[in-house]
Structures are given as structure tokens and as C-alpha cells.
């Protein structure tokens, strides 16, 4: 059986020095270079595959330091501090010996505790009642995700009309693939640049830094399986060349799996 394109994309080969060899994925290509979410997943994968890893991912921050070129890369994840139940990682992803992504991660042994989701899942029609858009952006990675927009897709007319930057959508891997931490970290970056939604104006953009908090346990990932996730994203501020996005991902059962934030460069 052929590997799912996502599994193909995040395949890493261990090197003698503890780092891994990987390669950008044609299947997850963006306009230029790869989709940021797939590079994020590759960085996290270096933690997940590390023989010394303790527990499951809690937090991940990745910094998009420079454009990633199509081709090979090396990624090193180092546990800089290991405690009884938490472990701290520093991540460095390089091409031609130069850092193109830096990052940190926290993994932890999680124990059952009291809990509650305070941020309610927005009331949206179920995925089956939300149409897949008739047209979609031409980048290859877009075909790797089924996206059903409840609100806040790309503007139909780029007329500079200002509106809320809010997006709500159902999303899952295409073809469907059982959810895991790596795919969740990629989907955390699925949201369109808020400036497009807010301004109906196309301007150059690029994510600078993204942080992902994993609220999901392994058991919840298994329960979610190949189901849809409800994603919500909005900006809080646009100012002098940068804006933020604050986002959530729930499963169909309403469990908040991820909260995530990013800061994005824009021009004009």
C-alpha cells in the first residue's frame, strides 16, 4: 500500500549525530517552496522520532527564519532539559548549513485531571451541510486538505472592502488520514492570511513565528480519527508590517484539540 502523502512528506532518516535527513514534498508545495504547515510537521517529527523523547507534545513554537528551498534539509531536535514529567526541546532545521527554521517544543507525560473547555465550539452547520468551494487556490498543498468554509474564505472579489477577519471552516486531510500530533501541527497552519480576509486585498505575506498548544491527548486523537476538525481563526491587530492570528481546532465531538497563534509579515 502506498504511503499517505503526509507520511511520505514527514519521513525522516536518522543520522549518526542524532539529527535527521528530510526532503521537501512536492505534494505539499506552496506558491514558492513548501506549505509552512508541512515544515512545521517535519520539525515536530524530529522530536516525535527522537529516541529520548518523554511523553506527548504540549507546546511547539517554530520560527520561519528564511524561505525553505525545494530539496533536502537536516533537522536536529535536542532535549535541553528533561524533568520528571516534562521535557524541553530546541529544534534547528537547516538547508546548506544555514538555519531556515528554529523552534522549541515541550513534551510531557500527561495525567488525568479535572478539565473543562472554556472556549465554546462555535455553532456551525455540520460538515456535510457545508459546500466545498467550487474554485480553490492553485497551490498543490491546498489539494491535500478538504476545506469547507462556513465563513471567511478568500474574497470572491478583491475589492478592498474591509470586513471581519474571522474564518470558520471544517478541515481534514485529503485523502482522509487518522489524526496525529504531526498532522495536527500542520493543520494549525491551514488558515489563510487574515489580511486577505480582512482587507479583500492581495499583499505579500509570510508567517514569521507560530506557536501551537496541544490540548489533545493521544486518546482524543484516536477518537477523532479521520473526522473533520472545526477551525476558527481571527486577527487581533494589524500594525506596521505584522499581524497576528489566533486560532482554535475542535473535533466534531466538540473537544478543543489545539489553540494556536502566529505572527505574519505583510507589506503595504
Residues forming the site for a second copy (CB under 8 A): 58-59, 61, 63, 65-66, 80-81, 83, 86, 88, 90, 92, 98-100, 102-104, 106, 108, 110-119, 162, 164-165, 198-199, 208-209, 211, 213, 215, 217, 234-242, 244, 246, 248, 256, 259, 261, 263, 265-268
- Give residues with Cβ within 8 angstroms of 64, minimum separation 6: 36, 39, 100, 101, 206, 207, 208, 209, 210
State which residue, 10 or 100, has the beta carbon closest to a second copy: 100
- Give residues with Cβ within 8 angstroms of 263, minimum separation 6: 207, 208, 209, 210, 242, 243, 244, 245
Q: To the nearest whole angstrom, how small is the minimum distance from the Cβ of residue 151 to a second copy?
A: 15
Q: To the nearest whole angstrom, how small is the minimum distance from the Cβ of residue 135 to a second copy?
A: 27
State which residue, 130 or 257, has the beta carbon closest to a second copy: 257
Which class for 262: exposed (0-12), middle (13-18), buried (19 or more C-beta within 10 A)?
A: buried
The span from the CA of 36 to the CA of 60, in Å, is: 14
Q: Closest Cα partner for 59 from 99, 13, 91?
A: 91
Q: To the nearest whole angstrom, how small is the minimum distance from the Cβ of residue 64 to a second copy?
A: 9
The span from the CA of 192 to the CA of 141, in Å, is: 13
State which residue, 11 or 94, has the beta carbon closest to a second copy: 94
State which residue, 151 or 259, has the beta carbon closest to a second copy: 259
Q: To the nearest whole angstrom, how small is the minimum distance from the Cβ of residue 155 to a second copy?
A: 16
State which residue, 108 or 169, has the beta carbon closest to a second copy: 108
- Give residues with Cβ within 8 angstroms of 192, minimum separation 6: 152, 153, 154, 167, 233
Q: To the nearest whole angstrom, how small is the minimum distance from the Cβ of residue 106 to a second copy?
A: 6
State which residue, 99 or 136, has the beta carbon closest to a second copy: 99
Q: To the nearest whole angstrom, how small is the minimum distance from the Cβ of residue 132 to a second copy?
A: 28
The span from the CA of 267 to the CA of 235, in Å, is: 16
Amino acid at each position: 500500500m502506498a504511503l499517505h502523502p503526509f507520511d511520505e512528506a514527514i519521513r525522516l532518516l536518522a543520522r549518526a549525530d542524532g539529527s535527521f535527513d528530510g526532503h521537501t514534498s512536492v505534494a505539499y508545495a506552496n506558491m514558492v517552496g513548501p506549505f509552512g504547515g508541512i515544515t512545521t510537521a517535519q520539525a515536530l517529527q524530529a522530536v516525535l522520532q527522537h529516541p529520548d523523547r518523554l511523553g506527548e507534545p504540549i507546546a511547539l513554537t517554530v520560527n520561519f527564519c528564511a524561505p525553505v528551498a525545494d530539496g533536502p534539509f537536516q533537522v536536529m531536535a535536542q532535549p535541553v532539559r528533561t524533568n520528571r514529567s516534562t521535557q524541553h526541546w530546541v529544534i534547528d532545521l537547516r538547508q546548506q548549513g544555514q538555519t531556515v527554521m528554529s523552534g522549541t517544543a515541550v513534551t510531557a507525560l500527561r495525567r488525568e485531571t479535572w478539565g473543562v473547555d472554556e472556549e465554546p465550539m462555535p455553532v456551525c452547520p455540520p460538515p456535510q451541510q457545508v459546500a466545498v468551494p467550487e474554485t480553490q487556490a492553485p497551490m498543490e498543498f491546498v489539494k491535500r486538505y478538504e476545506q469547507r468554509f462556513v465563513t471567511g474564505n478568500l474574497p470572491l472579489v478583491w475589492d478592498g472592502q474591509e470586513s471581519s477577519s474571522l474564518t470558520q471552516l471544517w478541515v481534514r486531510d485529503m485523502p482522509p488520514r487518522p489524526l496525529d500530533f504531526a498532522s495536527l501541527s500542520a493543520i494549525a497552519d491551514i488558515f489563510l492570511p487574515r489580511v486577505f480576509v480582512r482587507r479583500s486585498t492581495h499583499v505579500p505575506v509570510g508567517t514569521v513565528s507560530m506557536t501551537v498548544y496541544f490540548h489533545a491527548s493521544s486518546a482524543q486523537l484516536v477518537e477523532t480519527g479521520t473526522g473533520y476538525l472545526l477551525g476558527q481563526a481571527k486577527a487581533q491587530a494589524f500594525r506596521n508590517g505584522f499581524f497576528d492570528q489566533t486560532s482554535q481546532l475542535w473535533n466534531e465531538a466538540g473537544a478543543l484539540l489545539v489553540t494556536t497563534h502566529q505572527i505574519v509579515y505583510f507589506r503595504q
